[in-house]
Structure 1
Amino acid sequence: MNQAVDEIDPTRLQKAVEAIAITPEAAAELVGGYRATFKAKFEREPESLEDKRRIAAKIIGRYSKLSAAGGAVTALPSVVPGVGTAVAVLGGGLADVAITLKLQIDMCMCLVELYEADLSNEDKKHLTFVLALAGSAEQMVMKGGKPVVQKIAQKLVYQYLKGPALITIKQLFKKAAITFTQKSMAKAFPLGIGVAFSGSTNYVLTTVVGKVAVAILAKDVK
């Protein structure tokens, strides 16, 4: 059922991910729940950057755990909505890649809602896809320790945000399709989602993508 490493069609992957990614409305509802929990605990609205960082950490933790939930996330349709659609459209191996990207996009959509709630839904989508795709693809081709990778990824994502949104997103899906399926990556991470990743690798990758997104949304890029 798994598709060969070198057969991913970026356009097909993009359509599948866009079809199963969270909507801005659903993200707003989810973040609203986190805000309500914060208010009940601290008896105030989460307005400061520090308050938002607390909620962001909860969001990142949730999606990092989902991303690491199993070696084949396609076995968890009840946990991750959209799995059935991804499998039907892409098949098992590619569906795993699509679900990994979906979880990172869902996480970033929630973070965008937390920090940039006043944006239009279309702008939220564009910002979300650039944050998730660029943050993930860039750090995977870099060498070095996590703090160094994270800092470089922040600056690269910021550069992507300056480009035309739709063209940039199309280019990033192409880059992600290549990066997620390179044979060198398959050799580096032999135990995991599709042909490339292990649960622990997905956890770390999603966590760093989330931290990169928060740094940019909180205007904390140095």
Structure 2
Amino acid sequence: MTEPRAFVREHTRLSPVPLVPEILLHQAEEAIALWERTEVSSPGRQAPPFWGFAWAGGQALARYVLDNPALVSGRGVLDLAAGSGLVAIAAAKAGAAPVTAVDIDPLSLAAVAANASANAVAVTAVERDILDDPPDTEVLLTGGAVLAGDVFYSREMARRVMSYLRRAAAGGAKVLVGDPGRAYLPRSGLREVATYDVPVVATLEDAAVKHTTVWQVPAE
């Protein structure tokens, strides 16, 4: 397979995010084509190219963070299942430090690095499954935030993510998630903090706009 960052640049175009135009991302112009190229270039890969698109939950969460910078300014932030790194970049632009983007896909980490560079912000990209780990110590020590955009796309993923997020909230982090009504969103116990109508890629979502909510996971 092509070197990951070269693959990202070859199959995307740097363009503004619809709901967050102050952020540029390397985005795929043809969703299905990118899916196919990724499969051909790396047979047997488990992770779809989530990094190539500005998903509704991430856009809403990024918008909320940029409009409310006091939530993260001067604090550590962890962007969980980061994809393109959109939410991490928004946090860095809002003054968060340090900012860490975590994902299990090497191409995601390449996209995060390319996108952070394009937006002139510092984001540390980490390839790791942390969902069974204790919450990020640096985030907790700075009174920081754990952010997750559009992560409830399977039952098992939702279960593991919510377990991690609830542990982080109990440890003192502010925990926010952005979600456009995915089937496995566990609404019980979440507190709505903002809603947005988010422009999305119709070939991915079967809609041009998704009504999307930012939720806080409270400490129990």
Larger RCO, structures 1/2 (Cα 8 Å, 6+ apart): 1
Report which of the two has the higher share of strand. 2
Report which of the two has the higher share of helix. 1
TM-score normalised over the length of structure 1: 0.28
